[in-house]
């Protein structure tokens, strides 16, 4: 488990960021390449992939997006819900990816 050292802390930090993101303008969150929203999405999707693989289950991006119900009009809330479920199953959260999205979100006004 390469992320084990900070997995719980990274999950808490990502949840805090997603909480802040839920109060921000969608256009701001989705601006840039990669956007803060896209980075957070990729962290959750990657954690989902790792969990499925650790359980010996077949995984695909469409599976993950169906699980997230990402077509919902509230994508940040879907990410928070997904993160909560993943953390409940002790899924790995990449602390380096969380560090990067935190730094990018700080440029948009997120305070550590």
Query: Beta strands of 1-112 (E only): which ranges?
Result: none
Q: Is 111 part of a structural domain of the chain? A: no
Helices and strands of the chain, counted as H and E runs: 6, 0
Can you read off the two tokens belonging to residue 3? 């992320």
Q: Is 91 part of a structural domain of the chain? A: yes
Q: pLDDT for 10-30, tens place per residue? A: 999 999 999 999 999 999 999
Helix axis angle for 75-88 and 7-21, nearest 10°, is 160
Q: Is 57 part of a structural domain of the chain? A: yes
**pLDDT at 88 (0 to 100):** 95
Q: Which helix (H) or strand (E) holds 68?
A: helix 61-68
* Count of structural domains, the chain: 1
Q: pLDDT for 64-103, tens place per residue? A: 988 988 777 788 999 999 999 999 999 999 999 999 999 9
Q: Is 24 part of a structural domain of the chain? A: yes
Structural domain of residue 61, as residue ranges? 4-106
Q: Is 80 part of a structural domain of the chain? A: yes
Q: Is 40 part of a structural domain of the chain? A: yes
Q: Is 112 part of a structural domain of the chain? A: no
């Amino acid at each position: 488990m390469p992320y084990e050292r900070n997995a719980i802390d990274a999950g808490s930090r990502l949840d805090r960021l997603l909480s802040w993101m839920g109060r921000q303008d969608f256009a701001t969150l989705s601006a840039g390449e990669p956007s803060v929203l896209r980075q957070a999405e990729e962290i959750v999707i990657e954690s989902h992939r790792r969990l499925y693989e650790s359980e010996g289950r077949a995984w695909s991006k469409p599976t993950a997006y169906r699980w997230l119900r990402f077509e919902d009009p509230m994508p940040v809330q879907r990410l928070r819900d997904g993160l909560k479920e993943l953390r409940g199953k002790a899924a790995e959260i990449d602390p380096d990816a969380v560090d990067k999205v935190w730094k990018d979100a700080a440029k948009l006004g997120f305070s550590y």
